[in-house]
Amino acid sequence: MSHITLSAINFAWLPILPLAAVAAGAMAIMLIGPGVEDEDSAGLGILALITLLAAMVFAIFTLGENSLAFGGSLATDDYAAFFEIVILIATALTVAMSLDYVADEGMAGAEFYSLILFAAFGMMLMAAAGDLIIVFIGLETMSLAVYALAGFLRRDPRSNEAALKYFILGAFSTGFLLYGIALIYGATGSIGLAPIRAALNDRAAQNPLLLLGLGMMLIGFGFKVAAVPFHMWTPDAYEGAPTPVTAFMAVGVKLAAFAGFMRVFMANLGPVSAQWTMVLWAIAALTMTVGNFAALVQQNLKRMLAYSAIAHAGYLLVGMAATPRAMAGGAMLYYLVGYAFTNLGAFAVVIALERKGAGGATLSDFRGLSRSRPGLALAMTLFMLSLMGVPPLAGFVGKFYVFSAALSAHLVWLVIIAALNSAVSVYYYARVIVVMYAQEEAAAPPRLAAHPGLVVSVIAAVAGTILVGLYPQPWLSAANSAYASALGRPAARVASLR
Amino acid sequence: MPQWLFAFLAALAIIGALGAILQRNLVHCVLGFALVLIDLGVLYMGLGAVTVGFLQIIVYVGAIMVLFLFVIWLLNIQADTGVRGGASLGLKLIGALAAAALAAELFVIFSHAPKLREVRTIAPSFGSVATLARVLFTRYLIAFETTSLLLLAAIVGAVALARRLAGQSAAVAAIPPRPGMRAPESRREVA
Per-residue pLDDT tens over the stretch A62-85: 888 788 888 888 988 899 999 999
Q: Which residues does A5 contact at the CB level (< 8 Å), separation at least 6?
A: none
Q: Which residues does A213 contact at the CB level (< 8 Å), separation at least 6?
A: A179, A180, A181, A182, A183, A184, A186, A187
Q: Is A360 left (phi over 0), alpha (psi -120 to 50) or beta?
A: left
Q: Is A234 or A440 the better-scoring residue by pLDDT? A: A234
> Using one digit for the tens of pLDDT, what is the confidence trace for A450-494?
688 889 999 999 999 999 999 989 999 999 989 988 887 644 444
Domain of B62, CATH number, reads: 1.20.120.1200
* Contact status of A137 with chain B (Cβ, < 8 Å): yes
Domain membership of residue B120 (yes or no) is: no
Contacts of B148 in chain A (CB under 8 A): none
Q: Where are chain A's structural domains?
A: 10-497
Same domain, B109 and B132: no
Which chain B residue's Cα is nearest to A134? B143
Q: Is B176 or A157 the better-scoring residue by pLDDT? A: A157
Query: B160 vs A112: CB contact, 8 Å cut-off?
Result: yes
Looking at this predicted complex, what is its ipTM? 0.90
CA A15, CA A434: separation in Å to the nearest integer?
A: 48
Contacts of A74 in chain B (CB under 8 A): 142
State residue A450's pLDDT score: 66
Q: What is the mean pLDDT of residues A180-202?
A: 91
* Contact status of A467 with chain B (Cβ, < 8 Å): no
The yes-or-no verdict on residue A26 having pLDDT over 50 is yes
Same domain, B77 and B3: yes
Query: A111 vs B137: CB contact, 8 Å cut-off?
Result: no
Cβ neighbours around A107 below 10 Å, total: 22
Same domain, B158 and B92: no
Say which of B134, B138, B149 has its CB closest to residue A121. B149
State residue A358's pLDDT score: 67
User: Residue ranges of chain B with pLDDT lower than 70?
Assistant: 77-87, 166-191
Averaged pLDDT score across all residues of chain A = 89
Same domain, B22 and B51: yes
What is the least distance, in Å, from the CA of B146 to any CA of chain A? 7
State residue B78's pLDDT score: 63
Query: B160 vs A148: CB contact, 8 Å cut-off?
Result: yes
Contacts of A9 in chain B (CB under 8 A): 137-138, 141
The yes-or-no verdict on residue A286 having pLDDT over 90 is yes
The yes-or-no verdict on residue A163 having pLDDT over 60 is yes
Same domain, B133 and B157: yes
* Contact status of A493 with chain B (Cβ, < 8 Å): no
Say which of A140, A149, A152 has its CB closest to residue B150. A140
* Contact status of A109 with chain B (Cβ, < 8 Å): no
Query: A111 vs B143: CB contact, 8 Å cut-off?
Result: no
Contacts of B154 in chain A (CB under 8 A): 144
State residue A13's pLDDT score: 80
**Which structural domain range is residue B95 located in?**
84-115
Same domain, B97 and B74: no
CA B146, CA B136: separation in Å to the nearest integer?
A: 12
Query: B138 vs A4: CB contact, 8 Å cut-off?
Result: yes
Say which of A4, A23, A111 has its CB closest to residue B134. A4
* Contact status of A73 with chain B (Cβ, < 8 Å): yes
Contacts of A115 in chain B (CB under 8 A): 153, 156-157, 160
Task: Using pLDDT thresholds of 50, 70 and 90, give the confidence band for residue A446.
Answer: low
Q: What is the mean pLDDT of residues A265-294?
A: 91
Query: A137 vs B150: CB contact, 8 Å cut-off?
Result: yes
> Using one digit for the tens of pLDDT, what is the confidence trace for B116-152?
777 777 777 777 888 888 888 888 999 999 999 999 9
> Using one digit for the tens of pLDDT, what is the confidence trace for A338-397?
999 999 999 999 988 887 666 667 888 888 888 888 888 999 999 999 999 888 899 999
CA A191, CA B102: separation in Å to the nearest integer?
A: 28
Task: Using pLDDT thresholds of 50, 70 and 90, give the confidence band for residue A336.
Answer: very high
CA A432, CA A301: separation in Å to the nearest integer?
A: 9
Same domain, B90 and B130: no
What is the least distance, in Å, from the CA of B4 to any CA of chain A? 36
Helix (H, G, I), strand (E, B), or coil: what is residue B91?
helix
CA A335, CA A399: separation in Å to the nearest integer?
A: 7
Same domain, B27 and B65: yes
Query: B152 vs A27: CB contact, 8 Å cut-off?
Result: yes
Ordered DSSP codes for A134-189: HHHHHHHHHHHHHHHHHT--TT-HHHHHHHHHHHHHHHHHHHHHHHHHHHHHHHHS
Omega of the bond prior to A392 within 30 degrees of 0, cis?
yes
What residues of chain A, 20 to 49, have a C-beta less than 8 Å from chain B?
23, 26-27, 30
Which chain B residue's Cα is nearest to A131? B143
Query: A137 vs B141: CB contact, 8 Å cut-off?
Result: no
State residue A334's pLDDT score: 95
Number of domains in chain B: 3
What number of CA atoms fall less than 13 Å from residue B184's CA on the CB side? Answer: 10
